[in-house]
Amino acid sequence: MFENNRILLKLKKKLKINTPRIEGIVKKSEKGFGFLEINSKVSYFIPPKKIKKVMHGDKIIARIGFSKNREIVIPEKLVEAYLTTFVGRLQKINKQFFIIPNYPFLKECIPCNFLIQDLDLFQSGDWFLAKLTKHKLKDNNLFHAEIIKFISKKEDPFTQWWVTLSKYNLKFSEPKFLIKTNNFLKDKKKRTDLTHLPFITIDSHHTQDIDDALYITKIDENFFKLTIAISDVTSYIHYQSELDIIASKRGFTNYLPGFNIPMLPRKLSENLCSLQPNKKRSVVVCEIIISKNGKIKKNSINFFLAWIKSQEKLSYTNVSNWLENKNSWKPSTKEIEKQILTLYDFYVSRIKWRKKNSLIFPERLEYKFYLSKNCEVSNISIKKRRIAHRIVEECMIAANCSAADILFKNKYHGLYNIHLGFDKSHSNQISLLLKKYNIFIDSKKLLTLKGFCDLYRILKDKKYKYLKSRIRKFQSFSEMSFNPYPHYALGFKRYATWTSPIRKYGDILNHRFLKSIIFNKKPINLNNNILQKISDQKRKHRLSEREIEDFLYVKYFQKKNFNNKIFNAEIFEISKGGIRAKLLENGASIFIPNSFIHNVRSELECNQDDGLIFIKGKIFYKISDIIKVILIDIRIDTKNIIAKPILVLK
């Protein structure tokens, strides 16, 4: 009898109007309920009936309420939908079409209609690109989508590749650009003829897009003269031409497990621009003189255009084996043998100089997937960087430092790779943390290049492994800038890459800046939009590679029975939900839920900020620890590998 009471209805309306509203991100669980996350420490429960009106990841405004003496929130207004254009699987139910988004916590079957033809060719499980057109919070309690592009049939062995590339709006293949003849050279400028010099290239066996060649001599006992020849891609591609615009949009060659997708047409990247042996090629050359102690003579740096003819394509494996006295391979001529030995001597002197005057970070383990024709993972191995890799790397680092110095000295525009060390707001916190370990570096000094380098030379000691992991959280990220800021992580005042123009559009831009200096011409004018485009593409490439690798890991472990095998894993993150770690044998990321760490939840504390796990008040795990684990569950849908430590406290 109270339902139609006007006074009560007015009171309810008034209470509803005055109820507080909050904004946050929807986080759904696999069990049908969810939370509205306000920040990393505050969240509100969304009841199962109300969670159906929103999707995981939606930004919404919700009304705070109570249910069964518990504070809850009721979704009211959509601020920003998580889904816009998305990838999903087709589902046919009773002659109706639905699409299921390809996201772990999005299980909705969204009704859809087609903007494409030949519907009879498609079946449940095929993959499409779709666009969300209606949302329950704003469109009459209805979700709806339009299918706009076919991606892949469900039985295609490369489906995961096409789905992931579509998700990040990345290309599937090389640019479709017709290069009619081999005489495609656009830049006919006069070049120095260096074809008589015994340049060599050192790459992987399978590499076709060869963009650097090396020649070195000893001037006397005290100096090396190193000549780095880099493929002159811009002699084939004019600024703002059709092909230049294509390359600028792609940003990079995309290297994925199984294949690569080149930034440039293969006719250029693997033929006309590739520094293949015994082929006359146009190059940009950097000549530098390096003293016996490894220091570059600044006034010796010289950039110019040239022709070269590489004498031989060498492999990292063969060169490393020969230098390490392994296997039977040996250089084909005395001249090539001399080049390898002199390059090795240069490397030894240069690495000694860098250890004292810049930074050399420990190498991270990298892993290689071996795939069958059906894209099944037959094996995963550690990619070992050997002495030949390091020789080439030191040559390229010297070339990039030299380019940065020339660009800066001539006050020409340049695209610099920068890393600004620690954020100023964290310097006092870092200094106090260091004091706990008897490392005394003033907070102001930490913000200088010298202070940053001094700190990391101390932290290279293994006893500071945990501290180093903590400190890394305060570091800034590497960026690109037209301003010549330092690169703290490398320990250089300036750094500008130009040695991979076949694979990186940013290096193409630096070739154009360097040519402006060579020919004393006004450089091209660029704005920060191009930097944002390159950065966005780099991020997308990194995410796509990671997603495909995660997929391959779960398929690999699902196929092979590793239930009883013990793995060593390194902890890299501690969250309120558990531990994330990496299997050292193959690089797979695993998750260890709290329930597998300790079975009494009240005795367990996960300190996310300090990277520590306490059990009964004592430190039991910390980031950087190597622990032994076994695998418990492989989850294909979420691409998660669940593990547990062998030792669990009772």
Which burial class, exposed, middle or buried, applies to 250 when counting CB atoms under 10 A from its CB (0-12, 13-18, 19+)?
buried
Distance CA 402, CA 500 (A): 15
Domain boundaries, the chain: 19-80, 85-155, 192-415+495-546, 421-475, 561-645
How many C-beta atoms surround the C-beta of residue 489 within 10 A? 22
CA 206/CA 196 separation, integer angstroms: 26
- What's the residue count for the chain? 650
Please list the active-site residues. 203, 209, 211-212, 316, 503
pLDDT one-digit tens code per residue, 256-272: 999 999 999 999 999 99
| Pairing label, strands 43-46, 34-37 | antiparallel
pLDDT tens for 564-584 read 899 999 999 999 899 999 999
- Residue written as tokens 């621009």? 273
Tens of pLDDT, residue by residue over 466-501, are: 999 999 999 999 999 999 999 999 999 999 999 999
Q: Can you give the pLDDT at residue 1? A: 45
Whole-number Å distance between alpha carbons of 285 and 500: 13
Query: Residue 298: which residues within 8 A CB-CB, separation 6 or more?
Result: 405
Domains 19-80 and 561-645 share a fold: yes
pLDDT-derived band of residue 103, with 50, 70 and 90 as boundaries?
A: confident
pLDDT category at 648 given cuts 50, 70, 90 is very low
Per-residue pLDDT reduced to its tens digit, 342-374: 999 999 999 999 999 999 988 888 999 999 988
113 pLDDT band (50/70/90 cuts)? confident
Fold type of domain 561-645: OB fold (Dihydrolipoamide Acetyltransferase, E2P) (2.40.50)
What is the band of 2 on the pLDDT scale with cuts at 50, 70, 90? very low
**85-155 — its CATH code?**
2.40.50.640
DSSP three-state, residue 385: coil
Residues 580-609, mean pLDDT to the nearest whole number: 94
**pLDDT of 183 higher than 80:** no
How far CA 616 is from CA of 545, 577, 601, 607, in Å, comes to 40, 17, 10, 13
**CA proximity to 540, closest of 173, 171, 257, 85:** 171
Give the chain's radius of gyration (CA, Å).
29
Three-state SS at 60: strand
- Nearest CA-CA partner of 305 in 403, 400, 235: 235
More confident residue, 283 or 526: 283
For residue 31, is pLDDT > 80?
A: no
* DSSP secondary structure string for all residues of 205-250: TT-----EEEEEEEEETTEEEEEEEEE-GGGTS-TTSHHHHHHHHH
From the list 539, 520, 536, the residue with the least C-alpha distance to 528 is 536
Q: Based on the number of CB atoms within 10 Å of its own CB, is 207 exposed (0-12), middle (13-18) or buried (19 or more)? A: middle
The answer to whether 273 touches 502, Cβ cutoff 8 Å, is: yes
For the domain with range 19-80, which CATH number is right: 2.40.50.140, 1.10.645.10, 3.20.20.70, 1.20.1440.60? Answer: 2.40.50.140
pLDDT for residue 9: 53
What's the mean pLDDT in 582-593?
A: 96
Residues with Cβ within 8 Å of 284's Cβ and at least 6 positions away in sequence, in order, are 229, 230, 232, 303, 304, 305, 306, 498, 511, 514, 515
Burial class (CB in 10 A: 0-12, 13-18, 19+), 640: middle
- If one compares 102 and 395, the residue with the highest pLDDT of the two is 395
**Of 38-47, 167-176, 513-522, which range is least confident?**
38-47
Q: Which residue, 399, 205, 461, is CA-closest to 317?
A: 205
Report the alpha-carbon distance of residue 194 to residue 306 in Å, rounded: 6
Work out the average pLDDT over 101-105: 85
Q: What is the percentage of the chain residues whose pLDDT exceeds 70?
A: 94
DSSP-based three-state secondary structure for 292? coil
Predicted local confidence at residue 186, as pLDDT: 64
